[in-house]
Amino acid sequence: MHTMNIKLLLITGTLLLAACSAESQPSKPMPTTTNPYYSRTDTTPLTLANSEWKKVLPADVYTIAREQGTERAFTGKYWDFEGLGTYYCAACGNQLFRSDSKFGSGCGWPSFYEPVRKTAVRYIDDNTHGMVRTEVRCGRCDGHLGHVFDDGPPPTGLRFCMNSIVLEFEPDSK
């Protein structure tokens, strides 16, 4: 009986230790291993059919990136987030924005005044929903990211209004 209790204690102790060490680890970037097209270094444009994207993207990312969806305002993980680092495309890993260009627009979506480089994104005229807007897509995978408006702050006067779901934030290493 006595030995049983000690064994039990040991097991519980080990489990606690394991739980602690898992928690103390810095959060790693989470490129999905099921998405073979994801790369933070390869900038070769991807031209995949939506049927292929559907197999490799999480459902919420697919809805925004491939079906021009929009997350509800003030619900995404980055609209009021102020971490220092880089934002990547959640669908393909393309580098999109730096935190330096992020600003509090109050619109409920993460907003930036410029992409990290000109070719990081591409622009499409969007006349849907009775509005004349400019859609912003990822320069690598052509996935929908959001829209750009001309009411942003200096130096560009632009407001890239993005969906958190298709962004992936990586903090700067200290």
- Is 161 annotated as catalytic? yes
Of the pair 7, 55, the CB lying nearest Zn ion is at 55
CB 161 within 8 A of CB 144: no
DSSP calls for 111-148: EESS-SSGGGEEEEEE-GGG--EEEEEETTT--EEEEE
Number of residues engaging Zn ion in binding (CB under 5 A): 8
Is residue 92 part of the contact set for Zn ion (CB under 5 A)? Answer: yes
Q: Which is nearer to Zn ion, 91 or 158 (CB)?
A: 91
Tokens of 64: 């925004």
Nearer Cβ to Zn ion (58/153): 58
Q: Rounded to 5 degrees, what are φ and ψ at 95?
A: -75, 125
Which C-beta is closer to Zn ion: that of 40 or that of 133? 40
Residue 161 lies near Zn ion (rule: CB under 5 A): no
Question: Does residue 148 bind Zn ion (CB under 5 A)?
Answer: no
**Member of 91, 120, 158, 167 binding Zn ion (CB under 5 A):** 91
Tell me how crowded residue 72 is: count the other CB atoms within 10 A of its CB.
8
Instruction: Report the alpha-carbon distance of residue 162 to residue 146 in Å, rounded.
Output: 4
List binders of Zn ion among 28-87 (CB under 5 A): none
Which of 57, 61, 64, 89 forms a contact with Zn ion (CB under 5 A)? 89
Dihedral of alpha carbons 32, 36, 38, 41, sign? positive
Using CB under 5 A as the binding rule, the residues of this chain from 121 to 140 that contact Zn ion are: 138, 140
Tell me the catalytic residues: 161
Q: Which spans of this chain sit near Zn ion (rule: CB under 5 A)? A: 89, 91-92, 94, 138, 140-141, 143
